[in-house]
Structure 1
Amino acid sequence: MSRHYIEPLVQKSTPSIIADKLREAIGHGELPPGSQLLEAQLARELGVSRGPLREGMQRLTQEGLLISVRNRGLFVLEMTPENVEDMYVARSAIERAAAARVVRGDRAAAAEELLAVVDRMGRAAARNREAAVGEADIEFHRLLVELSESPRLRRVHETLITETRMCIHALAESYRASERRVEEHRAIAEAIGSGDRRLVDRLLVEHMDDAVRRLTGDTRTPTVAADAAETTPA
C-alpha cells in the first residue's frame, strides 16, 4: 500500500475551521460534556463573526457532538453510559470494516506502522505517562481507519474519535490499566500482519467491549459483542 504525503491542498472555509477548533476543544475537555456554548463569548474568543460560528456549530450539531435544547441553547453531548456504549457500537462497525480492508491490502506495511504506535504507547506506559498513552491509543485507531483508504469511513470515524476523547477525559480514572491497553493494541496489529481476518475482527470486538466495561463500570455483556456475533466477516 503506497501512501502519498505530497497532495493538493484543500482550502477550508471559515465554518469548517471553526468546526475543527470546537471539535478539538470538545475532545480535549476544554468544552466539557454538558457545558453550554455561549455564542457571543465564543465569537469573541475565536475572533470570528456570529454567522460562520453558527454554521460551524450547526455542523457539530449534525454530527451529534452538540445538542440543541429548545429555549436554552446548544450544549456539549454528555457521555452517559448509554451514549458510551452506543458510540462504541458505531466505532466497532467502522473499525472492523476498516480492518477488513487493511488485511486485504499491504497488511505487512500496515502492521509495521501500527506496531510503531504501539511501541510509543508502551514507552509512555513504562513512564506512567497516562496522557501520552491515551494519545497513542487514539492515534492507533485513527491510523487503522486511515490505512483503509476509505474517505467515508475516515469522515465518520473522526466524530467518533472526538467522542472517545471526551470519554477518556471525563472518565480517566476508570480507563487506566495501561499495560493491558498496550497488549490489546499489539495483538490487533500483529493479527493484521498475519492476515487472519477472523482473529483481527474478534480482537477488535473484545477490545471495544473491554473499553465499554471500564468506562461505564457495567459488567454485563456489551452490545458490541452481541451485534458482532451476527456480523463477523467471513
Structure 2
Amino acid sequence: MTSYIGPLAQESTPSIIADKLRKAIGHGEFKPGSQVVEADLARKLGVSRGPLREGMQRLTQEGLLVSIRNRGLFVIDMTPREIRDMYCAREAIERAAALLILRDGDFESVGLDLHAIAERMKPVRHDPAAVGEIDIAFHEFLVQASGSPRLVRMHRTQIIETRMCIHALESTYTAADNRYLEHRRIAAAIRDCEVERVDELLSDHMDDAIQRLTGKSPAPAGNPTAQATTPGK
C-alpha cells in the first residue's frame, strides 16, 4: 500500500502537511477512530511541531480530526450516523452541482465526459477497489464541472470521508452489482438535460450507498429521530 506519510520533498508548509494527512486518512493509513500522535507524525514527516499543529488544526476544522480533551487528536469514527450525515451532505452538494451544470453549463459535453469516466468501470467491474476509485473520479468531475469553487471545496472533505468508507462498501458489492450502468444512467441524464431524472438518480445513488454501508435505509426527510445513533469513540 502506498504510504502518504514520509519526509516532505519540498519546503514544509501547513498546507502541504494538511494535504498529506488528508490523503493518508482517505486511503486508510490512519483508520477511523485511531489516534494521531503529534510526535510520531513530526518524526515521519521530518517537520517541526509548529507547522504540523497548524496542518492538523486545518483537518480539525474540516471535521476529519476531532480533539478529545486529555486524550489527544483522533480520526473521526465513521459510525452509521456519521455515514448517513456524510452522504446527506454529498447528495446536497452533488445535486446542486448538477443543477448548475444543467442550468448554466455545457451539459452535453459534461455528460459525454462523465460517460467516458463511467466506461472505465466496465473492464474492471469485478475489481471493487478499481471501481471505487473510478466512482470517486466520476463524482469529483461532476462537482468540478459545476464551476463552483465553494462546492468543490466542500466536496473535497466529503470525498475523503467517502474513501474512508470504501473498504466497507466494497464488501457489500457482488459480481451481480453493476455500478457501471448506474453511473452511465447519471451521465446520460445530464447529457440529455433531464433535470428531474438527474436529481432522482443522484438521490437514489446516495441512498443505495447508505443502505449498503449501514444495513438500513436512510431516515425519511425531516425525521432525524429515525436515525439510530451509534456512540463514537
The answer (yes or no) to whether the contact 1:134–1:168 under 8 Å persists in 2 is yes
Hey, what's the Cα distance between the residues in 1 that align with 2:174 and 2:38?
Answer: 35
The residue number in structure 2 matching 1:8 is none
The one of 126, 130, 133 equivalent to 1:132 is 130
Are 1:107 and 1:193, in contact at CA under 8 Å, matched by a contact in 2? Answer: yes
The answer (yes or no) to whether the contact 1:28–1:165 under 8 Å persists in 2 is yes
Query: In structure 1, what is the equivalent of residue 78 of structure 2?
Result: 79
Quote the Cα distance in structure 1 between the aligned partners of 2:43 and 2:69: 24
Give yes or no for the alignment of 1:226 onto 2:221: yes
Q: CA deviation at 1:178?
A: 7.3
Code of the aligned partner of 1:226: A
Map of 1:195 onto structure 2: 193
For 2:98, give the aligned amino acid: A
CA positional deviation for 1:226: 2.5
Aligned length: 212
Distance in 1 (CA, whole Å) between partners of 2:179 and 2:221 is 22
Deviation of 1:180 after TM superposition, in Å, equals 2.5
Residue 202 to residue 13, structure 1, CA distance change in 2 (3 Å): farther
Aligned AA (1:107): F
In structure 1, C-alpha distance between the alignment counterparts of 2:28 and 2:174, rounded to whole Å: 17
TM-fit CA distance, 1:194: 0.6
1:183 and 2:181 equivalent?
yes
Q: What SS does the aligned partner of 1:160 have?
A: helix
1: distance between equivalents of 2:191 and 2:183?
Answer: 13
Counterpart contact for 1:18–1:56, Cα < 8 Å: yes
Alignment match of 1:157 (pick from 155, 158, 162) = 155
Alpha carbons 2:168, 2:213 under 8 Å: kept:
no
Q: 1:179 Cα deviation (Å)?
A: 3.9
User: Which segment is superposed worse, 92-101 or 173-182?
Assistant: 173-182
Equivalence for 1:16? 15
- Tell me what 2:98 maps to: 99
Q: Secondary structure at the match of 1:67?
A: strand
* Identity of matched residues, %: 62
Contact kept? 1:28, 1:169, Cα under 8 Å: no
Q: Could you say what secondary structure the match of 1:74 adopts?
A: strand
Equivalent pair of 2:143/2:151 in contact (CA under 8 Å): yes
Deviations 1:25-59 (A, max 9, x none): 00000011011001011011111111111001001
Look up the equivalent residue of 1:15 and give its one-letter code: P
**Aligned-pair Cα RMSD in Å:** 1.8
Match of 2:4 in 1: none
For residues 52-71 of structure 1, the aligned pairs below 5 Å read 52-71=51-70
Question: What TM-score, normalized by structure 2, do the two folds share?
Answer: 0.87
Shift of 1:172: 3.1
1:123 Cα offset (Å): 1.6
- Measured after TM superposition, the shift of residue 170 of structure 1 is 4.2
Say if 2:12 and 2:51, in contact at 8 Å, map to a contact too. no
